[in-house]
């Protein structure tokens, strides 16, 4: 799914637009036991409450593609005879009204998910009459080419607030408010099947993961039985390690700056182009930058091998997963310097009298602890 398709479903996923008639819930405590199951009619919900439920479901269609939103692909054999895919299809076909199927799904989640504390599983089934769009992109709401029926699932932490005094408007006094559990925004979730080319694609699902450090691999394997990329945090660590290891002493600040500058530029150009497909890069694009920096062939070959080992043969990665496009961080054991990537040339390395230094161009105002200081000649 691309950004336009995700946005189209997210805009539809509102109480006054969607066709979700009920939201099913399963409350699981920190001992991995079901506390309660529920069926909440969306038509009977108070307006504020209904908006909160739909806001939770919409959150599973938000974030950065490749980092928070990940396409999962089923193999043909899974679609034809896989138990995981069949359960999802059966849930969709029953529109979640089959209690036994819901129970099977809830049990799969409980058996595979390691979340700290209690959590709430929310499930909804919606049908979207896809408006016809002409070649020039103009939509016609009164014409529909297809009905897209999909499952939306959100798994949310349930938090215990700190005890405190609460205001009672009737008594106009503050009293002990007790402990009432509250539902947080989803930690993970998914949409199935995918909405590709504005049409149903039962070979794909869209997986939502809030944390860049955890991908809940066991959950994905149990529910979908498909591979899931490394978490974005691990991808960044892997890229940093392989760049330093493969280049060795040739890995200078100038080389790292050049790689970051190129990837940041690609991210900005992609953003300006408003292309809905996510931006992906491969090892050859990084090698071009390294070649431009004068890196020798043997080190380029080592980089290529280690890239394949870290990400897979001929893999493509999201550049935002392997660099920080907002800042450049320079660290020593005692000092950390953060610089806007566009201003990275203000910092350089130098060896003076046999001592290694980081030099910062300080022509403009310099502050120390909020105080403007003067640097003497």
Residues 167 and 253 in one domain: no
Determine the structural domain holding residue 362 and report its residue range.
327-377
Closest listed residue to residue 194, CA positions, set 207, 205, 210? 205
- The CA distance from 161 to 152, in Å, is 27
Residues 260 and 216 in one domain: no
Residues 159 and 296 in one domain: no
Residues 195 and 296 in one domain: no
The pairing of strands 34-41 and 118-133 is: unpaired
Residue 135 has pLDDT above 70, yes or no: no
Exposed/middle/buried for 368, CB within 10 Å: 0-12, 13-18, 19+?
A: exposed
Q: Are 120 and 25 in contact (CB under 8 A)?
A: yes
Residues 50 and 180 in one domain: yes
The DSSP code sequence of 7-48 is HHHHHH-STTT----EEEEEEE-TTS-EEEEEEEETTTS-HH
Choosing from 229, 258, 280, the residue where a domain stops is 229
Query: Residues of 266-297 as b/e, b for ≥16 C-beta within 10 angstroms?
Result: ebeeeeeeeeeebbebebeebbebbeebebee
Residue 73 has pLDDT above 70, yes or no: yes
pTM of the complete model: 0.84
What total of structural domains would you count in the chain? 3
For the chain, the straight-line distance linking the first and the last C-alpha, in angstroms and rounded, comes to: 58
pLDDT in tens, 244-263: 999 999 999 999 999 999 99
Residues 37 and 186 in one domain: yes
- Residue 265 has what pLDDT? 93
Q: Are 360 and 337 in contact (CB under 8 A)?
A: yes
Residues 8 and 154 in one domain: yes
pLDDT in tens, 224-250: 999 888 889 999 999 999 999 999 999
Query: Residues of 305-338 as b/e, b for ≥16 C-beta within 10 angstroms?
Result: ebbeebbeeeeebbbbbbbebeebebeeeeeeee
- Residue 143 has what pLDDT? 64
pLDDT in tens, 98-126: 999 999 999 999 999 988 899 999 999 99
Structure tokens at 351: 């060896």
């Amino acid at each position: 799914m691309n950004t336009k398709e995700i946005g189209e479903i997210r805009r539809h996923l509102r109480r006054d637009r969607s066709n979700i008639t009920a939201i099913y819930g399963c409350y699981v405590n920190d001992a991995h036991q079901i506390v309660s199951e529920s069926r909440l009619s969306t038509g009977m919900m108070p307006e504020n409450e209904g908006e909160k439920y739909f806001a939770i479901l919409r959150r599973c269609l938000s974030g950065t593609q490749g980092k928070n939103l990940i396409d999962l692909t089923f193999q043909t054999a899974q679609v034809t005879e896989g138990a995981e895919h069949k359960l999802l299809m059966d849930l969709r076909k029953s529109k979640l009204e089959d209690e036994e199927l819901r129970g099977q799904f809830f049990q799969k989640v409980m058996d595979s998910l390691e979340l700290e504390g209690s959590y709430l599983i929310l499930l909804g089934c919606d049908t979207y009459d896809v408006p016809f769009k002409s070649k020039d992109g103009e939509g016609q709401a009164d014409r529909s080419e297809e009905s897209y029926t999909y499952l939306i699932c959100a798994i949310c932490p349930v938090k215990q607030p700190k005890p405190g005094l609460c205001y009672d408007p009737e008594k106009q006094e503050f009293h002990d408010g007790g402990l009432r559990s509250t539902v947080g925004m989803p930690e993970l979730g998914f949409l199935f099947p995918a909405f590709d080319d504005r049409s149903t694609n039962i070979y794909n699902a869209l997986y939502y993961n809030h944390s860049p450090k955890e991908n809940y691999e066991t959950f994905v394997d149990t529910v979908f039985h498909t591979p899931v990329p490394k978490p974005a945090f691990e991808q960044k660590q892997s890229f940093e390690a392989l760049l330093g290891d493969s280049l060795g002493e040739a890995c200078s600040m100038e080389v790292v700056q050049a790689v970051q500058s190129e990837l940041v530029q690609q991210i900005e150009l992609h953003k300006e182009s408003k292309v809905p497909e996510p931006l992906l890069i491969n090892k050859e694009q990084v090698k071009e930058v390294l070649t431009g920096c004068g890196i020798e062939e043997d080190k380029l070959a080592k980089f290529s091998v280690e890239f394949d080992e870290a990400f897979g043969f001929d893999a493509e990665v999201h550049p935002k997963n392997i660099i920080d496009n907002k800042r450049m961080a320079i660290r020593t054991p005692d000092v950390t310097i953060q610089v806007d990537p566009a201003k990275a040339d203000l910092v350089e390395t130098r060896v003076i009298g046999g001592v290694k230094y980081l030099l910062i161009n300080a022509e403009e105002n310099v502050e120390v602890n909020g105080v403007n200081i003067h640097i003497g000649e």
